[in-house]
Amino acid sequence: MFSLSLGLVLLPFVSAAIHDVQVGGAGGKLVYVPEAISAQPGDQVVFHFNPKNHTVTQSSFADPCGRKDGGFSSGFQPVAANQTDNLPTYTITINDTQPVWVYCAQAAKTPASHCGQGMVFAVNCGLDGAPNSFTNFKNSALAIGASLAAAASSASAASTAAYSAAATWTTAAYGGYTIPPAPVPTPITQAVTLGSQVWTTTYNSYPNSPAPTPASAEGQIHKVIVGGPGGKLTFDPPRISAQPRDIVVFEFHQKNHTVTQSSFDDPCRKLNNNGVVGFDSGFFAVADNATEFPTWNFTVTDTAPVWGYCRQQTPASHCGAGMVFAINSDESSGRNFSAFQNVAKALNGTLVAANEPAPSQTSTTTTNSNGAASARMGTALVTCIAAAFAALLL
Ligand SMILES: *[C@@H]1O[C@H](CO)[C@@H](O)[C@H](O)[C@H]1NC(C)=O
Ligand SMILES: *[C@@H]1O[C@H](CO)[C@@H](O)[C@H](O)[C@H]1NC(C)=O
Ligand SMILES: *[C@@H]1O[C@H](CO)[C@@H](O)[C@H](O)[C@H]1NC(C)=O
Ligand SMILES: *[C@@H]1O[C@H](CO)[C@@H](O)[C@H](O)[C@H]1NC(C)=O
Ligand SMILES: *[C@@H]1O[C@H](CO)[C@@H](O)[C@H](O)[C@H]1NC(C)=O
Ligand SMILES: *[C@@H]1O[C@H](CO)[C@@H](O)[C@H](O)[C@H]1NC(C)=O
Ligand SMILES: *[C@@H]1O[C@H](CO)[C@@H](O)[C@H](O)[C@H]1NC(C)=O
Ligand SMILES: *[C@@H]1O[C@H](CO)[C@@H](O)[C@H](O)[C@H]1NC(C)=O
């Protein structure tokens, strides 16, 4: 009380306080000690990094485990288990009386997330009972962790089930090209937490598909350049991983391209299967001297793989030249991006009939294709076991 009134009287001469916070606790505990402090503008908070590999990263109350736009971060501070002195530090200065929310970004968005295990910290948060109390903030972080853990366990179960249920090679829509088995989706119903919002989602989980938890309420933006100078027949990047709510911005550069949804076994024709009709941007013709580039947006709604291509056929098929694109392809399976591109080239391009049986062996075609199929099935199963093993290591 005394020092407070003295402080008020002598305000310009009061030196700012320094608050020490330990990052990580004894025995590798995932905590900041203390977890919450109050501080005055001008005060400094000095974080001392204990063994393990933590960060001090600014988040927001609404999204406790996501970095705040323009927020501060110490970066990762690895400290050996036997190090006891000369611990690295990171200092922030408190600018105002607004709450400051902090988390550790180690293993972000995975079941091992430090934040998801409650490693969060706050300056000037609300009192217990207030909506923006530390307890509510930490509980929201823990709920994100629980949701990531649930997604990982259901996805790995789905992954194992999917490949064992579907180890049959089929042929492409036309042309006799054989293609790897389709994974079987597992319908999953799950509570998703994003900041203070919780809702239930039902989605199809595919092997290695991303978590259904959107990275942020607005979704992330992924930019893909379509075409370009010199007649480039590419989507750049040709494949991305994206979560529900993310937006893929296709930016059309030189020449006259589309982005059109297809399917793995029919890469160069618009998807139209049992009433499911694919998206299509239509043609965007862009002049060689253009300096502004039109965009067309696709919002991701699912974690299932999305396959796409350019349907320009003048003067020659762009798709057949390999101008294809994928979202959430399972790169550890036979249905990876380059396999998809090969199907496109085989069906509509120069790689035509690359794995078709030789015409002279018509009478033994059945045997040949069966032999080929079972050989490839072996590879698919090995991949599946490796994937399951990798899942166990997590
Ligand atoms: C610290 O963690 C980051 C992120 O996981 C990782 O990239 C880095 O290699 C780690 N450093 C050490 C020394 O383990
Ligand atoms: C910590 O352990 C490493 C490797 O075990 C050793 O090289 C280093 O000297 C130790 N450091 C201290 C401070 O004991
Ligand atoms: C205080 O303001 C500085 C300069 O704008 C900024 O770098 C720093 O991150 C701010 N501190 C906090 C705790 O937001
Ligand atoms: C773009 O290509 C489509 C299909 O080939 C064609 O119909 C259209 O006229 C082309 N647009 C321009 C401006 O060249
Ligand atoms: C591009 O070239 C065309 C014809 O050569 C011309 O009409 C147009 O103004 C040019 N556009 C730009 C942005 O330079
Ligand atoms: C696509 O999304 C981006 C980013 O949100 C936006 O800037 C752009 O205007 C959108 N394009 C269209 C055609 O809606
Ligand atoms: C690919 O080939 C099929 C069958 O000939 C044809 O229907 C389709 O339009 C072609 N697509 C492209 C983009 O070349
Ligand atoms: C990608 O698919 C091809 C063709 O199915 C296959 O040969 C290759 O092994 C796959 N890559 C991986 C990493 O599984």
By C-alpha distance, which of 200, 239, 220 is closest to 109?
Answer: 220
Inside any domain, residue 379: no
| Residue 337: HSE in the Cβ half-sphere, 13 Å Cα cutoff | 18
The answer to whether 188 and 153 have CB atoms below 8 angstroms apart is no
Inside any domain, residue 164: no
Q: How many Å lie between the centroid of ligand 7 and the Cα of residue 269?
A: 6
Partner residues linked to 325 by β-bridges: 308
pLDDT attached to residue 202: 66
By C-alpha distance, which of 18, 48, 14 is closest to 31?
Answer: 48
With vertex at residue 361, the alpha carbon angle to CA 357 and CA 365, rounded to the nearest 5 degrees, is 60
Interacting residues of 77 by C-beta distance below 8 A, sequence separation 6+: 23, 49, 53, 54, 55, 88, 90
Q: How many Å lie between the centroid of ligand 4 and the Cα of residue 337?
A: 28
**Which residue, judged by its Cα, is nearest atom 5 of ligand 8?**
334
Distances (CA, A) of 31 to 18, 51, 56, 382: 20, 12, 11, 41
By C-alpha distance, which of 49, 18, 44 is closest to 31?
Answer: 49
pLDDT attached to residue 389: 28
Q: How many Å lie between the centroid of ligand 6 and the Cα of residue 236?
A: 17
Same domain, 39 and 143: yes
Same domain, 137 and 227: no
Interacting residues of 5 by C-beta distance below 8 A, sequence separation 6+: none
pLDDT attached to residue 32: 97
CATH of the domain at 350: 2.60.40.420
Closest ligand relative to 55 C-alpha: 1
Same domain, 143 and 218: no
DSSP letter string over 175-192? TT-EEPPPPPPEEEEEEE
DSSP letter string over 115-153? GGGT-EEEESPBPTTSTTBHHHHHHHHHHHHHHHHHHHH
Question: Distance between alpha carbon 132 and the CA centroid of its chain, in Å?
Answer: 28
Distances (CA, A) of 135 to 89, 97, 102, 114, 328: 26, 19, 14, 17, 36
Q: How many Å lie between the centroid of ligand 8 and the Cα of residue 383?
A: 9
Inside any domain, residue 173: no
Distances (CA, A) of 45 to 16, 35, 94, 251, 255: 10, 12, 8, 44, 55
The answer, yes or no, to whether any atom of ligand 7 lies below 6 A from the CB of 323, is: no
0.75 exceeded by the pTM? no
The atom of ligand 1 lying closest to the CA of 107 is: 5
Q: Which residues line ligand 2 (CB under 6 A)?
A: 80, 82-83
Same domain, 225 and 142: no
Structural domain harbouring 25: 17-147
Same domain, 260 and 123: no
Q: What is the pLDDT along the chain (394 residues), one digit of tens a residue?
A: 344 444 344 444 457 899 999 999 888 899 999 999 999 999 999 999 999 999 999 999 999 999 999 999 999 999 998 898 999 999 999 999 999 999 999 999 888 899 999 999 999 999 999 999 999 999 999 999 988 888 777 766 665 655 555 567 788 888 788 888 777 677 777 666 666 666 666 666 676 777 666 666 678 899 999 999 999 999 999 999 998 889 999 999 999 999 999 999 999 999 998 888 999 999 999 999 999 999 999 999 878 899 999 999 999 999 999 999 999 998 888 889 999 999 999 999 866 544 443 333 222 222 222 222 222 222 222 222 223 223 322 2
Inside any domain, residue 3: no
Q: How many Å lie between the centroid of ligand 4 and the Cα of residue 221?
A: 28
Same domain, 108 and 240: no
Partner residues linked to 100 by β-bridges: 123
Inside any domain, residue 299: yes
State the Cα–Cα distance between residues 15 and 40, nearest whole angstrom. Answer: 11
Same domain, 114 and 29: yes
Inside any domain, residue 46: yes
The answer, yes or no, to whether any atom of ligand 1 lies below 6 A from the CB of 209, is: no
Same domain, 219 and 350: yes
Same domain, 41 and 127: yes
**Which residue, judged by its Cα, is nearest atom 14 of ligand 7?**
317
The answer, yes or no, to whether any atom of ligand 1 lies below 6 A from the CB of 78, is: yes
**Which residue, judged by its Cα, is nearest atom 4 of ligand 5?**
289
Inside any domain, residue 311: yes
**Which residue, judged by its Cα, is nearest atom 7 of ligand 8?**
334
**Which residue, judged by its Cα, is nearest atom 8 of ligand 5?**
289
Inside any domain, residue 319: yes
Mutate to test the pocket of ligand 1, among 30, 52, 54, 76 (most ligand atoms within 8 A of CB): 76
Closest ligand relative to 41 C-alpha: 3
State the residue for tokens 């290591």: 393
Q: How many domains does the chain fold into?
A: 2
The answer, yes or no, to whether any atom of ligand 4 lies below 6 A from the CB of 314, is: yes
